[in-house]
């Protein structure tokens, strides 16, 4: 009479062992939830940087047809990719005159391709040991990471542990990643622009005179509560 009971208990123990070894998407989401400091950090807004670079041979004269086409294509990718700057890095161990002319030719071609001159940065690298060191033209663009939501769901009525469900915040993060125009803003803030020195002097002079330092009020910006629905 004891044999059937022993077999049932053994099968139950084996089932528990197999269940403990399995890893489901739900378990992975729970692990991510435990690692988050706050519920809003279950799905962080992130951007991945991607480098786009071309290498050009140094020429004493103008760019070749193939080089001109490559620079034009890079400028088009820069405009579409939302990058902020382009780096022209010339080799320092070759003919300086030829390297300079090639770098300037690339700069002029980038400007003609629609890249502002203020977005082009030029520098040099040590090319000692290279027989034919190339000119490097590159930029870094960012791609927003869009999380995949709704891969698995748990029982939303199980609230005894007072924790949020595993998909909490995923839709908001996915929507923001899809709507942000410049993904580079996710990676970090933009550099502070140059202050308006003329406006600063005007404010300081008004302050010293005891005058009002704020700008004049715009009459068109004032509002009045409408009484169109008013009654007796």
Question: pLDDT digit string (tens) for 196-216?
Answer: 888 889 899 999 999 988 877
> How far apart, in whole angstroms, are the C-alpha atoms of residue 67 and residue 57?
9
> How far apart, in whole angstroms, are the C-alpha atoms of residue 86 and residue 141?
10
Domain assignment present for residue 4? The answer is no
- Other C-beta atoms closer than 10 Å to the C-beta of 38 total 8
pLDDT, mean over the chain? 79
pLDDT at residue 1 is higher than 50: no
pLDDT at residue 15 is higher than 60: no
Residues 39 and 110 in one domain: no
- The burial of 143, by beta-carbon neighbours within 10 Å (0-12 exposed, 13-18 middle, 19 or more buried), is given as middle
- The burial of 142, by beta-carbon neighbours within 10 Å (0-12 exposed, 13-18 middle, 19 or more buried), is given as buried
Mean pLDDT over 8-34 rounds to 50
Q: What is the pLDDT of residues 59-69, one digit of tens each?
A: 877 899 999 99
> How far apart, in whole angstroms, are the C-alpha atoms of residue 91 and residue 59?
12
Residues 157 and 88 in one domain: no
Within the chain, residue ranges assigned H as helices are 2-21, 25-35, 65-81, 96-112, 170-179, 184-187, 197-209
> How far apart, in whole angstroms, are the C-alpha atoms of residue 170 and residue 92?
49
Residues 111 and 132 in one domain: yes
Domain assignment present for residue 195? The answer is no
Residue of 209 and 221 predicted with greater confidence? 209
Q: What is the pLDDT of residues 78-135, one digit of tens each?
A: 988 767 899 999 998 778 888 899 999 999 999 999 999 999 999 999 887 777 889 9
Contact 89, 121 (CB under 8 A): no
Residues 133 and 55 in one domain: yes
Domain assignment present for residue 116? The answer is yes
> How far apart, in whole angstroms, are the C-alpha atoms of residue 202 and residue 198?
6
Most confident of 72-76, 97-101, 155-159, 177-181: 72-76
Structure tokens at 80: 């579409």
The pLDDT score that the predictor gives to residue 26 is 55
Domain assignment present for residue 33? The answer is yes
SS3 208: helix
Mean pLDDT over 36-56 rounds to 84
Domain assignment present for residue 206? The answer is no
Residues 58 and 132 in one domain: yes
Residues 137 and 159 in one domain: no
Map tokens 């909490």 to a residue: 168
Identify the domain boundary among 111, 127, 142. Answer: 142
Residues 63 and 106 in one domain: yes
Contact 110, 120 (CB under 8 A): yes
* Domain count of the fold of the chain: 2
The pLDDT score that the predictor gives to residue 9 is 40
Structure tokens at 11: 């099968």
pLDDT at residue 34 is higher than 80: no
Domain assignment present for residue 71? The answer is yes
Q: What are residue 185's phi and psi, to 5 degrees?
A: -65, -20
Contact 151, 25 (CB under 8 A): yes
Which residue segment(s) compose the domain that 98 sits in? 49-142
> How far apart, in whole angstroms, are the C-alpha atoms of residue 124 and residue 88?
8
Residues 109 and 59 in one domain: yes
Domain assignment present for residue 2? The answer is no
Residues 39 and 152 in one domain: yes
The pLDDT score that the predictor gives to residue 65 is 92
Residues 80 and 158 in one domain: no
In the chain, DSSP finds a helix count (H) and a strand count (E) of 7, 4
Residues 53 and 107 in one domain: yes
- How far is C-alpha 41 from the geometric centre of its chain's CA atoms? 17
pLDDT at residue 75 is higher than 90: yes
Residues 36 and 151 in one domain: yes
Q: Which range is least confidently modeled, 34-43, 167-176, 184-193?
A: 34-43
Domain assignment present for residue 167? The answer is yes
Q: What is the CATH number of the domain that holds 55?
A: 3.30.1330.60
């Amino acid at each position: 009479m004891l044999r059937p009971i022993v077999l049932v208990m053994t099968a139950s123990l084996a089932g528990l062992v197999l269940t403990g070894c399995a890893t489901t998407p739900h378990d992975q989401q729970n692990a991510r939830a435990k690692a988050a400091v706050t519920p809003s950090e279950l799905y962080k807004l992130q951007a991945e940087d991607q480098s786009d670079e071309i290498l050009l041979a140094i020429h004493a004269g103008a760019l070749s047809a193939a080089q001109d086409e490559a620079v034009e294509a890079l400028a088009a990718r820069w405009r579409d990719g939302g990058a902020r700057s382009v780096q022209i890095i010339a080799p320092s161990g070759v003919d300086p005159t030829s390297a300079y002319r090639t770098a300037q030719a690339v700069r002029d071609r980038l400007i003609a391709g629609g890249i502002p001159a203020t977005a082009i940065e030029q520098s040099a690298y040590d090319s000692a040991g290279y027989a034919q060191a190339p000119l490097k033209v590159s930029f870094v663009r960012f791609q927003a990471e869009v999380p995949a939501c709704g891969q698995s769901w748990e029982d939303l009525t199980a609230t005894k542990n007072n924790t949020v469900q595993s998909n909490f915040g995923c839709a908001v993060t996915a929507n923001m990643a899809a709507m942000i125009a410049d993904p580079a803003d996710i990676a970090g803030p933009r550099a502070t622009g140059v202050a308006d020195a003329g406006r600063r002097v005007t404010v300081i002079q008004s302050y010293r005179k005891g005058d009002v330092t704020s700008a004049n009020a715009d009459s068109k910006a004032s509002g009045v509560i409408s009484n169109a629905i008013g009654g007796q």
